[in-house]
């Protein structure tokens, strides 16, 4: 599959059984909308939520937000029914919870592509986001991230991971720090996006900002969101500043001029500019929707 750049600074969870919130999903301004059929939906609401999401996903205008659906795991009574209902709709991505191995992803993709074949759909449109929420998933994350063209993002599920590790989630994230960094490294080595876990205290805006700044520093592409109030802070952290954009613009412009002259490495204000710095500058410009003519 051809990799397409998508802003994924924020991914807003919306319970699949909440029609009002689904209807308003696009107006919240998140880069991605995550319609949830898994943990946010009670067992006795699973079938109703699946029907609701199936009926609303193609009639609601989500504006510029990417639309993903988190299905239930195939080991549950609901996973296969979720795939049968959602795959034919071809949202931007299916998010799969508690992914633990490359073999598990291969089996999931086999089922997805069988459904697509029955509906005459290509295998090249909808992608897969694998959630890493167990210690086994952390151990196998590189296989999960690197072997499949349709996996274009991985995410860490902090609450389930701490439960699987039998530890308590703390505001400093100490217990899952190793997992965070291992998951980021697997994503970077695989050239895919990596999304941080939710910040559970919606009233602690300072804590959310600190955790988002840390996630950005260690390499996460963006952060999951459980309340629309959290989106603005996350976007503020991840959106390049005007100074960063001006600097990136200058670097890319000079790079184009020097490349045309056959020069690969050059200097701006006495500082060497080479390929990695240009790549970083190009990424900043994509985030800022700026092109260099």
Domain membership flag for residue 1: no
Domain membership flag for residue 78: yes
Query: Can you tell me the distance from the alpha carbon of 67 to that of 128, in angstroms, rounded to the nearest whole number?
Result: 12
* 19-33 pLDDT tens trace: 999 999 999 999 999
> Residue 2: pLDDT above 70?
no
Domain membership flag for residue 100: yes
Tally of structural domains, the chain? 2
Whether 63 and 18 share a structural domain: yes
Whether 165 and 271 share a structural domain: no
Whether 222 and 253 share a structural domain: no
* 205-259 pLDDT tens trace: 999 999 999 999 999 999 999 999 999 999 999 999 999 999 999 999 999 999 9
Whether 254 and 163 share a structural domain: no
Query: pLDDT at position 264, please?
Result: 83
List of residues 6+ apart from 153 with CB closer than 8 A = 8, 93, 127, 129, 130, 187, 192, 193, 194, 195, 221
pLDDT band, residue 289 (cuts 50/70/90): confident
Q: Give the mean pLDDT of the chain.
A: 95
Whether 29 and 162 share a structural domain: yes
Domain membership flag for residue 259: yes
Q: Does the annotation place 133 within a ligand binding site?
A: yes
Residue ending a domain, choose from 222, 238, 254? 238
Whether 50 and 176 share a structural domain: yes
Domain membership flag for residue 4: no
List of residues 6+ apart from 271 with CB closer than 8 A = none
* 34-67 pLDDT tens trace: 999 999 999 999 999 999 999 999 899 999 999 9
Whether 117 and 256 share a structural domain: no
Domain membership flag for residue 293: no
Domain range for 255 is 242-288
Query: pLDDT at position 171, please?
Result: 82
Domain membership flag for residue 80: yes
Whether 84 and 162 share a structural domain: yes
Query: Can you tell me the distance from the alpha carbon of 110 to that of 122, in angstroms, rounded to the nearest whole number?
Result: 13
Whether 216 and 275 share a structural domain: no
Whether 253 and 146 share a structural domain: no
**CATH assignment at residue 167:** 3.20.20.60
Whether 73 and 212 share a structural domain: yes
Tell me the HSE value of 8 on the side-chain side, using a 13 A CA sphere. 26
Q: Does the annotation place 117 within a ligand binding site?
A: no
Query: Can you tell me the distance from the alpha carbon of 16 to that of 36, in angstroms, rounded to the nearest whole number?
Result: 5
Dig out the tokens for 175 from the structure.
């217990």
Whether 72 and 201 share a structural domain: yes
Domain membership flag for residue 5: no
């Amino acid at each position: 599959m051809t990799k397409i750049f998508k802003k994924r600074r924020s991914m807003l969870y919306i319970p699949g059984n909440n029609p009002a919130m689904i209807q308003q999903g696009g107006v919240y301004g998140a880069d991605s909308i995550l319609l949830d059929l898994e943990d946010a939906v009670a067992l006795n609401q699973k079938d109703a939520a699946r029907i609701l999401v199936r009926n609303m996903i193609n009639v609601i205008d989500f504006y510029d937000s990417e639309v993903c659906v988190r299905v239930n795991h195939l080991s549950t009574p609901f996973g296969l029914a979720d795939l049968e209902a959602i795959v034919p709709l071809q949202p931007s991505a299916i998010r799969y919870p508690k992914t633990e191995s490359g073999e598990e992803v291969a089996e999931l993709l086999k089922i997805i592509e069988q459904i697509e074949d029955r509906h005459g759909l290509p295998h090249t449109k909808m992608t897969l986001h694998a959630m890493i929420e167990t210690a086994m998933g952390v151990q196998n994350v590189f296989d999960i991230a690197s072997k499949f063209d349709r996996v274009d993002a991985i995410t860490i599920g902090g609450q389930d991971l701490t439960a699987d590790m039998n530890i308590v989630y703390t505001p400093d994230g100490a217990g899952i720090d190793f997992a965070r960094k291992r998951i980021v490294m697997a994503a970077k080595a695989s050239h895919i996006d990596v999304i941080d876990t939710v910040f559970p205290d919606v009233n602690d805006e300072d804590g959310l900002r600190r955790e988002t700044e840390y996630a950005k520093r260690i390499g996460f592409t963006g952060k999951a969101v459980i309340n629309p109030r959290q989106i603005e802070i996350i976007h503020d952290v991840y959106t390049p500043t005007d100074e960063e954009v001006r600097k990136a613009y200058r670097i890319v412009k000079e790079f184009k001029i020097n490349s045309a002259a056959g020069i690969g490495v050059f200097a701006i204000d006495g500082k060497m500019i080479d390929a990695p710095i240009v790549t970083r500058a190009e990424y900043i410009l994509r985030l800022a929707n700026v092109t260099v003519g």
